[in-house]
Amino acid sequence: MSFSTESSAVASPADGGGALRRPDRRLPVRVRHSMVVLHVVASVSWLALMLCLLTLGTTALATRDAGTVRTAYRAMGMLGDALIIPLSLLTLVSGVVLALGTPWGLFRFYWVGTKFWLTLGATVASIFALTARLHDAVHTVALHPSGPVSAMHLGFIRYNMVIVPAVALLLYLANVVLSVFKPWGRRSAGRSEPGQRRRRVQR
């Protein structure tokens, strides 16, 4: 998910004293707007992908119909192979670009830094852990093209297909909460004031 919301990508955060701080660097307006569009589309698509995977995984866990299980896991595998890597990387990279190219910065505010680490963790987990679990499920049902669910010997795979997307979805929802409430304030607020006072004295 994003490190800055659509509104925060174009607004200037206020310092502790209430005055707007001039940004060190900004993206050009057209570039910034394009990055916001790209970031929002990628983030929403990533969230929708996790909802789809969770729905399919829950369906496969709850049913006793072997055909439904096979279809669900094959669909999860196709969705994962086609979308996990591009959507996760687009969300991460576009969020970093927006954070660095706007006054919010990447680590100036606790909530932005927290979102960065959450998104990075979700990206790594999605690309490696989730993709591996999807491949396990697809491989297992491919080995048993017929027969009941019990004959597939899925074991804990059925639960992994629910747990992993659910954890990823919770991470994305946490990012949404951080974007809306922006808690904890600014990291450098206390340290920047003496430097600002020294610059005023020198002038």
Q: Summarize pLDDT for 133-157 with one digit per residue, the tens.
A: 999 999 999 999 999 999 999 999 9
First to last CA, the chain: 42
pLDDT value of residue 189 = 52
pLDDT value of residue 196 = 45
pLDDT value of residue 52 = 97
For 52, residues 6+ apart whose C-beta sits below 8 A from its C-beta are: 79
At 11, is the pLDDT very low, low, confident or very high (cuts 50, 70, 90)? very low
Q: Summarize pLDDT for 105-132 with one digit per residue, the tens.
A: 888 899 899 999 999 999 998 999 999 9
Query: Could you tell me where the DSSP H helices lie in the chain?
Result: 29-62, 66-100, 110-124, 131-143, 157-181, 189-202
Residue 45 has pLDDT above 70, yes or no: yes
Domain spans of the chain, in order of start:
29-202
Q: Summarize pLDDT for 48-90 with one digit per residue, the tens.
A: 999 999 999 999 999 999 999 999 999 999 999 999 999 999 9
The residue with tokens 């669900």 is 72
Span 8-15, average pLDDT: 46
For 196, residues 6+ apart whose C-beta sits below 8 A from its C-beta are: none
CA separation, residue 164 to residues 47, 51, 142 (Å):
13, 11, 21
When mean pLDDT is compared across 4-8, 162-166, 182-186, the lowest value belongs to 4-8
